[in-house]
Structure 1
Amino acid sequence: MRTFAELLAEGEAVPVEGWDFSWFDGRATEERPPWGYVRLLAGRLAGAGSVLDVQTGGGEVVREALERARAHPAVLAATESWPPNAALARAALAPWRAEVAQVPDDGPLPFPDGTFDLVSSRHPVLVGWPEIARVLAPGGTYLAQHVGVGTARELTDFMMGPQPVSDVRSPARAVAAAEAAGLRVVDLREATLRMEFSDVAAVVVYLRKVIWIVPGFTVSRYRRRLEALHERIVDSGPFVAHTTRYLIECSRDRGPR
């Protein structure tokens, strides 16, 4: 059995750029939502002439959808705030001649009004509803999978002590904000999903990668709690937490004829 120190060192050394989670195979699992976001996105891509993927990470998700799609948009663009991810996205989406703009998550989208038939996003950190509505063409669609309320709260509470659960990420708030921006919600689905961590190295990589679960996480700062978590996994088996996800699809009306 590997020691706590060995697992900790491994967790600190793993690169965390992009949204490729293949390193976790055999170390952690996360149940997937029943609606199949990539499959849905692939279907929408086939019928869209111009597409924007917001907060694309390393472009992995939209690339997979593009590889599945029967047809590809003539115009493809993406945004990403973190420079290492933006570089990965440019490489991943180069076969589709995508424009990848590096912009802050809370900043304006650098595109003219009414540019895109489809705006997509998987797990955006922030959702700029007015900007999404602005860049959508009349009749255009926003299709996204959002992180919901209380995701991985069991892990947050273990590391930080009991924390209040905010409703900022609730579907109800998203619907209200979308409608306030002039969009019409046409689909909304929610799911609570099981996740398991089989060793503490997987926890370290996850918390380094998904930075909002334990804000300000570093191994040195949380070493004692990580050691307690390691001992718990050794004694009792995988650490279990739950994620929440919701699919939201909105339409920008065409307006009066």
Structure 2
Amino acid sequence: MASGTDQAQRSFEDLLAEGEAVDVSGWDFSWFAGRATEERPPWGYARLVSQRMAGARAGLDLQTGGGEVLATIERPPPVLRATESWPPNLPLARAALAPLGGQVLEAPDAGPLPFADASFDLVTARLPVVTPWPEIGRVLAPGGTFLAQEVGPGSNIELSRAMLGGHLKPGGRFPADAVAAAEAAGLEVVDLREARLVMEFFDVAAVVVFLRKVVWTVPDFNVARFRPQLRAVHDGIRATGSFVCHPTRFLIEARRPERTGDGT
């Protein structure tokens, strides 16, 4: 593959066409090798999920995408389920998780979840579009854990502003709101960590693919509508070598309390 510098010297039109043609189904980001880099949070989410799933009785992964993260666990629990809302991702996830004995069900991001009350002692989610806290509280067994890595406030705001204008205020999810929602669902937050990271794009095709794939960065993104902004990003990359922005993430772990002696 050509280096990022070589990619940036290709014509604007060629790079736009390439970015529009890339398949953006699933959550496999291997296409970006040599085209973009993203710093990872220090807590190692995939490793944590693998450790927790190994000790679980029944595990559920919400909004699993193509099952990319869940498929990396070393030892699956006796019961392994996942949900996904986007139909093109369903066959990818089912193929990825079948070797682990996992079953993937179609379910809306905001719920309801197609499971009985207290079905799982572990529920996980990586970058959920929506975190359905009431449903998470419902399907967790007493003593069960919810572990998620979420997009934080103002994530990649430099890229959002490049497309939508410098006036854009930082939005997204705030950790304090997640804590309040977890507690409202009857859960106790036992861990909360935050990170501000660095991401670099080395050509405008990578920017296009990212915006098509990570749709909440610029809602209703398409190349034709944002062509002038993409041109400015392309020119900036040619001048400086990359476009830099800052993803934000937070890790939240919440538990459903054990039942008391009177069964409540």
Deviates more, 1:97-106 or 1:131-140: 97-106
CA–CA distance in structure 2, aligned partners of residues 48 and 83 of structure 1 = 28
**Is this contact kept in 1: 2:158–2:245, CA < 8 A?**
yes
What is the SS of the residue equivalent to 1:53? Answer: strand
1:235 match: 239
1:255 match: 259
Is 1:89 the equivalent of 2:93? Answer: yes
1:17 match: 25
CA–CA distance in structure 2, aligned partners of residues 139 and 127 of structure 1 = 20
Residues 213-228 of structure 1 mapped to structure 2, 5 A cutoff: 213-228=217-232
2:215 match: 211
- Cα root mean square deviation, aligned: 0.8
CA–CA distance in structure 2, aligned partners of residues 203 and 96 of structure 1 = 34
Q: Select 1:163's aligned residue among 146, 162, 168.
A: 168
TM-score (norm. length: structure 2): 0.94
CA–CA distance in structure 2, aligned partners of residues 247 and 232 of structure 1 = 33
Sequence identity percentage: 63
2:6 match: none
Q: What is the CA-CA distance between 1:49 and the residue it aligns to?
A: 1.1
Q: Select 2:47's aligned residue among 39, 52, 56.
A: 39
2:4 match: none
Residues 104-143 of structure 1 mapped to structure 2, 5 A cutoff: 104-143=108-147
CA–CA distance in structure 2, aligned partners of residues 35 and 173 of structure 1 = 21
CA–CA distance in structure 1, aligned partners of residues 129 and 246 of structure 2 = 18
Q: What is the CA-CA distance between 1:3 and the residue it aligns to?
A: 0.4
Q: Select 2:36's aligned residue among 28, 31, 36.
A: 28
Q: Select 1:148's aligned residue among 145, 152, 160.
A: 152
Query: How many residue pairs are counted as aligned between the two chains?
Result: 252
2:179 match: 175
CA–CA distance in structure 2, aligned partners of residues 180 and 106 of structure 1 = 16
Q: What is the CA-CA distance between 1:228 and the residue it aligns to?
A: 1.1
What is the SS of the residue equivalent to 1:6? Answer: helix
- Counterpart residue type for residue 30 of structure 1: E
Q: Select 2:57's aligned residue among 32, 37, 49.
A: 49
What is the SS of the residue equivalent to 2:198? Answer: strand
CA–CA distance in structure 1, aligned partners of residues 260 and 36 of structure 2 = 51
Structure 1, gaps ≥5 residues long: none
Q: What is the CA-CA distance between 1:191 and the residue it aligns to?
A: 0.2
CA–CA distance in structure 2, aligned partners of residues 5 and 31 of structure 1 = 29
Cα deviation, 1:108-138, whole Å, max 9, x if unaligned, reads 0000000001000000000010100100011
**Is this contact kept in 1: 2:71–2:100, CA < 8 A?**
no
Q: What is the CA-CA distance between 1:97 and the residue it aligns to?
A: 2.2
- Counterpart residue type for residue 242 of structure 1: H
